[in-house]
Amino acid sequence: MKRHLEGLLRQALSAAMTDGALPLAALPPLTIETPADPRFGDLACNIAMVVARELGRPPRAIAELILARLQDPAGWLAGREVAGPGFINFRFTLAFWQMILREALTAGESYGSSTAGAGRRVQVEFVSANPTGPLTVGHGRNAVLGDTLARLLERAGWRVEREYYFNNAGRQMMLLGESVRARYLALIGRSTVFPEEGYQGEYIRDIARGLVEQHGEALADADGGVFRKVGEQSILAAIRATQDRLGITFDHYFNENSLYQSGALDRTLGALEQHGLVARRDGAVWLRGEAVGLEQDRVLVKSSGEPAYRLPDIAYHEDKLARGYDVIIDVLGADHIAEHGEVLAALRGLGHDTARIRAVIYQFVTLTRNGEQVKMSTRRAEYVTLDELLDEVGVDAARFFFLTRKADSHLEFDLELAKQQSTDNPVFYVQYAHARIASVLRQAADAGIQPESNPDLGPLGDAELEPLRLVAAYPDVVDAAARDLEPHRIVFHALDLAGAFHRYYNTHRILSDDPALTQARLAVVRSVQQVLRSALHLAGVQAPERM
């Protein structure tokens, strides 16, 4: 919807610049929004206020100059006016809505797609949980955010590659091996001391039981490396199975250990040293904060000789940059904000362009059960796994709920609400709208009514255009969600559209005695169903025909 108006406004601005009415050096960026109050029109633009300071003129006067040059050859505009301090408000004609409806129904499942990405390559790295335990509810939010972003970017014309960074090196993996070994020895009756900071979940005992069943006591004298390998393989298999349940697949699993084996870690450390970004003291190797714009030095290699997590992350991002992606997206929990900034600072210090790297930082999830908050700690096994959540509320509710807040907002996941089969449950509310339309279309078919591809909307009253306005806005929502990396916009729009449809359904009889009116209303609800189905697909949620 916005792109049609943007074209008219750009032509008007160009005309004003050509005839000297607006002495601008270049066409300014246009911001077109839907007014919060529909009384102010279908769309509004603030361009006059944006350029007022540059031109030294009152915004309202500039707005009038623009409107005087705005041509509407297709007859789309029913009204245009300058309002408030200088907003330009627009209303569209029924002919415009007819055109939008025809566009939507003709495009079918591709409605909302764009070429904004122009085939450029983008990598989305997400989940990337350490293989030390099952995926938790927090990992679930990461997974759904990343997967929905990837779907959005594909819809916007990007070539997307999904990657999981597999953290299988370092101290946490040593602790995993020692934890499995301790449980194994206990099961075969050998004395053992469980690691002080070991992983205590039941899944560790399950892995140890499997080793006993397969090898008996033959591994009694094996070192932790044997148990670490088995633990890693078992947990990764479980992680992948959980991802399969969510409908998530990856193009690449990047093995952190490969950075050690290939020498990439040593090369990165050497490059940092050559650029004068390293200090050595107290037996450790430090990234010099002052040299890269950080307030403090940060440890790269501990005094024990073990690399701190920053060093492999820097090497990993060097590898990603070298692969030639146009954009690299990291989906990270809020606890990674500082560390990610340190990695970027080090990369800039090495001469890399980090403008290609974009982070989506999400806040944590609070899971409530019967009004009580469930505490989560992977190491102490005080947590609810993502599989347990999926078992309880289902995949559709889990995915939808993870998207019902902006990523940088805390999410309280209400289990009881997610399980309700009522319109209070947001995912049920949207799916019910889709199924309700499917029921209407079945009734039409039973009555021998075949929907027309391009019906006349003349029989519709202005009050009946609310759902169609949201259908028209859908491509703009998809574009903005992909551009700004904000997948929550998709479910927000689906909720708004479902609400508009339910109000429409409760107010208007879709299958009436008037054939022309019936065809017009069927066209509207078909376009609504099409957008709901598309939005649910982007969210990874089913669009049921019956409920």
Interval 371-423: pLDDT, tens = 888 765 544 556 688 999 999 999 999 999 999 999 999 999 999 999 999 99
pLDDT band at 110 (very low <50, low <70, confident <90, very high): very high
Backbone angles phi, psi at 206, to 5 degrees: -60, -40
Residues contacting residue 517 through CB under 8 Å, at least 6 positions apart: 459, 460
Residue 382 has a pLDDT of: 60
Cβ atoms of 49 and 85 within 8 Å: the answer is yes
pLDDT band at 201 (very low <50, low <70, confident <90, very high): confident
- pLDDT exceeds 60 at position 496: yes
Domain boundaries, the chain: 2-92, 171-239, 423-538
Residue 409 has a pLDDT of: 97
pLDDT band at 253 (very low <50, low <70, confident <90, very high): very high
* Residues above pLDDT 90, as percent of the chain: 82
- pLDDT exceeds 90 at position 30: no
Domain 423-538 has CATH 1.10.730.10: yes
| Of 216, 232, 253, nearest in space to 180 by CA | 232
Residue 169 has a pLDDT of: 81
Length of the chain, in residues: 547
Q: How far is 404 from 412, CA to CA, in rounded Å? A: 10
Residue 63 has a pLDDT of: 94
Cβ atoms of 326 and 122 within 8 Å: the answer is yes
Residues contacting residue 501 through CB under 8 Å, at least 6 positions apart: 433, 436, 437, 467, 525, 528, 532
Hunting for tokens 């929990």 — which residue is that?
A: 333
The mean pLDDT of the chain is 93
Residue 522 has a pLDDT of: 96
Of 9-18, 482-491, 532-541, the one with minimum mean pLDDT is 9-18
Q: Which residues pair with 307 in a beta bridge?
A: 301
pLDDT band at 504 (very low <50, low <70, confident <90, very high): very high
| Of 272, 255, 240, 360, nearest in space to 316 by CA | 255
Instruction: For Cα atoms 141, 144, 146, give the angle at the middle one, nearest 5 degrees.
Output: 105
Residue 541 has a pLDDT of: 98
Q: How far is 289 from 349, CA to CA, in rounded Å? A: 10
pLDDT band at 200 (very low <50, low <70, confident <90, very high): confident
Of 94-98, 122-126, 153-157, 289-293, the one with minimum mean pLDDT is 94-98
Residue 256 has a pLDDT of: 92
pLDDT band at 116 (very low <50, low <70, confident <90, very high): very high
- pLDDT exceeds 70 at position 503: yes
Q: How far is 480 from 153, CA to CA, in rounded Å? A: 11
Residue 381 has a pLDDT of: 54
As a whole number, mean pLDDT of residues 219-245 equals: 94
Q: How far is 126 from 516, CA to CA, in rounded Å? A: 50
As a whole number, mean pLDDT of residues 46-70 equals: 93
- pLDDT exceeds 70 at position 127: yes
Of 335-339, 346-350, 539-543, the one with minimum mean pLDDT is 335-339
Residue 3 has a pLDDT of: 84
- pLDDT exceeds 80 at position 254: yes
| 3-class DSSP state of 472 | helix
Residue 144 has a pLDDT of: 98
As a whole number, mean pLDDT of residues 437-452 equals: 96
Q: Which residues pair with 514 in a beta bridge?
A: none
As a whole number, mean pLDDT of residues 460-487 equals: 92
As a whole number, mean pLDDT of residues 221-230 equals: 92
What CATH number labels 2-92?
A: 3.30.1360.70
Q: How far is 180 from 87, CA to CA, in rounded Å? A: 66
Instruction: For Cα atoms 320, 322, 327, give the angle at the middle one, nearest 5 degrees.
Output: 55
Residues contacting residue 322 through CB under 8 Å, at least 6 positions apart: none
